[in-house]
Amino acid sequence: MLLIKSSPSVKQLLHLTSLRVRLTLGIAAMSILGLGGVVIWISWQMQSILVVTHKNNTSYIAERFPSDVEIYSDMVSLREGTQKAIDNLSNPQTLLWVKSPQGDIWSQSQVLKMGMRGNDLVSLTDISPQPELQRVNNRYWLLCSTKLVVKGVNLGNFYIAQDITRDQMMFWSVMRSLLIISVIATIFMTMAIAWYIQTSLTPLKRMSQMTQDICTETLGKVQIELENAPSEVKELAGTLQTTLTRLSDAWEDQRQLVSNVSHELRTPLTVVSGYLQSTLRRGNNLTDIQREALATASSEAERTVQLLQDLLDLARAENGGMYFHLETIVLNELLPEIAGMVHQYPIPVQISLPDDLIKVKGDKNRLKQVFLNLIDNGVKYSHSPEPIFLKLSQEKQQAKIEVCDRGVGIPLADQTRIFERFYRVDEARSRNVGGTGLGLSIVKTLVEGMGGTIKVVSQPDQGTIFTILFPLS
Ligand code: ADP
């Protein structure tokens, strides 16, 4: 089972298109809307209850006052009766006063008389008959006025002012607390939601990490096992596992087919190629046209045999069936041998060797195959007669062999892909020079099969350097 652990980066955490961020933001937004709605509704209700209670009180005083004045004025004068009724209904929060039709203060609460508070109210002119909330001198007053007619006499206007500042302050303080609690609750809720969503999505993330490194080699070995995952995710993992197994089987079948077909075709084609070459050699009475046709057929047959051999090699390597006859090889001796093998090439091969002997463990023939392939490519993809260099050196505990050419070079975007099977940078050019697109994938397979590594550095129109590293023997 593959178990991969990683901590998400801030960029990943804030990725706006991720399901986690979307769900968190969506649920948090809905929570804020819901909580905000409740707070607004509560505040509206509280304010209504507060104002309505005081309005009822004010209306009650307004209704009762004329009959109180009438009762009191049966015993004393109308003015004294009015004052008595005012004194009876006044309290520190409720201020009353009566203005004569001429606008003079006829009677008022003791608090007003003594000028203790509310004196600014008396000078107000636009007080409506309906109780209304007004802010005067930083205090909240519920104000209303009515016509005062007692025993058929118009005494002027009766005014009521109720101080509800304390209640209003209490209301604001409750609202402030409610708002702060709501904000804190929303923050905690959002954090809890984010954590919960992240926990719920962890199995999906693990599944994606398990599958992202799958390649053709590991296709059949991957086991997607998720513990404590929700049943839906387990189902998805099961489906993916089945798909991977089917893919692996199909890949295996395809590999087998390529291997079998290559094997079956190689032998007869080798025979055909042999006959063609011997006919060419012995055919003294052939016309030029016949000779040219036979030469083309022979070279194509040879190329196809090479292609089939490459395919067989790759199939064997992938099945673990490639056999390496490992021995200690002195590279200082092997490289001149290879240079000797290619002396008839149109481009000279120059070698540079260190004084110390550099030994590696490898298969001599396979190593030759690797370097011949790279030199062959250097020749194929060079237009100038600049030599190809084979440089041997030691780097740390490794043998380093560089194959450098001054050819057409490889664009940066293609450099990671040239080791793939059948990948060719310029299809037309590669076909002209007779490439199959398998050479470098075989080189890589062989080098890695013998415990080495290969990399490429190249610049278009400047040249290419293939660097191979092998552990020292
Ligand atoms: P091919 O048989 O086509 O040469 P290879 O696998 O050997 O296939 O190489 C893959 C591709 O990489 C080639 O088609 C060519 O475009 C590019 N390539 C390989 N070696 C070189 C080189 N030395 N210089 C420039 N391009 C190269």
Secondary structure (DSSP) of 325-389: --EEEEHHHHHHHHHHHTTTSSS-EEEE--SS--EEEE-HHHHHHHHHHHHHHHHHT--S-PPEE
73 lines ligand 1 (CB under 6 A): no
| 3-state DSSP assignment of residue 130 | coil
Say if residues 390 and 402 touch (Cβ distance below 8 Å): yes
User: Which atom number of ligand 1 is nearest to the Cα of residue 463?
Assistant: 24
382 lines ligand 1 (CB under 6 A): no
Q: What is the pLDDT of residue 2?
A: 36
Nearest-CA residue for ligand 1 atom 8 is 437
Q: What is the pLDDT of residue 429?
A: 66
Q: Which residue has better confidence, 103 or 363?
A: 363
430 lines ligand 1 (CB under 6 A): yes
User: Which atom number of ligand 1 is nearest to the Cα of residue 438?
Assistant: 6
248-256, long-range: CB < 8 A, 24+ apart:
248/219, 248/220, 249/220, 251/216, 251/219, 252/220, 255/315, 255/318, 255/319, 256/315
Which residue among 307, 377, 422, 432 has the greatest number of ligand 1 atoms within 8 angstroms of its CB, and so is best to mutate? Answer: 377
437 lines ligand 1 (CB under 6 A): yes
Highest mean pLDDT among 100-104, 303-307, 360-364: 360-364
User: Which atom number of ligand 1 is nearest to the Cα of residue 408?
Assistant: 25
Question: Based on the number of CB atoms within 10 Å of its own CB, is 74 exposed (0-12), middle (13-18) or buried (19 or more)?
Answer: exposed
439 lines ligand 1 (CB under 6 A): yes
302 lines ligand 1 (CB under 6 A): no
Domain at 327-471: CATH code = 3.30.565.10
Say how far apart CA 239 and CA 255 lie, in whole Å.
24
Write phi, then psi, for 371 (nearest 5 degrees).
Answer: -70, -35
Q: Please determine, for residue 406, whether its predicted confidence score (pLDDT) is greater than 70.
A: yes
Write phi, then psi, for 85 (nearest 5 degrees).
Answer: -60, -40
| 3-state DSSP assignment of residue 150 | strand
405 lines ligand 1 (CB under 6 A): yes
Q: Which residues contact 309 (CB under 8 A, 6 or more apart)?
A: 262, 266
Q: What is the pLDDT of residues 160-209, one digit of tens each?
A: 999 999 998 999 999 999 899 989 998 998 899 889 988 888 888 888 88
Q: How confident is the model at residue 118 (pLDDT cuts 50, 70, 90)?
A: confident
- At the fourth CATH level, the homologous superfamily of domain 1-206 is PAS domain (3.30.450.20)
Q: Please determine, for residue 307, whether its predicted confidence score (pLDDT) is greater than 50.
A: yes
Establish how many alpha carbons lie within 13 A of residue 186's alpha carbon, considering only the half-sphere containing its beta carbon. 21
- The domain limits of the chain are 1-206, 231-318, 327-471
Q: What is the pLDDT of residue 391?
A: 97
Q: What is the pLDDT of residues 225-243, one digit of tens each?
A: 888 788 888 899 899 999 9
Q: Please determine, for residue 331, whether its predicted confidence score (pLDDT) is greater than 90.
A: yes
> Is the fold of 1-206 the same as that of 231-318?
no
418 lines ligand 1 (CB under 6 A): yes
Q: What is the pLDDT of residue 454?
A: 97
Q: What is the pLDDT of residue 289?
A: 93
The dihedral over CA atoms of 351, 352, 353, 358, expressed in degrees to the nearest 10, equals -70
Average pLDDT, the chain: 88
For residues 34-42, give the mean pLDDT: 90
- Least trusted range by pLDDT, from 88-92, 209-213, 356-360: 209-213
Pairing between strand 139-150 and 132-136? Answer: antiparallel
463 lines ligand 1 (CB under 6 A): no
User: Which atom number of ligand 1 is nearest to the Cα of residue 424?
Assistant: 14
Q: What is the pLDDT of residue 33?
A: 92
For residues 312-320, give the mean pLDDT: 80
Ligand 1 centroid–CA 240 distance in Å is 36
Which residue among 424, 442, 459 has the greatest number of ligand 1 atoms within 8 angstroms of its CB, and so is best to mutate? Answer: 424
Class in CATH terms, 231-318: mainly alpha
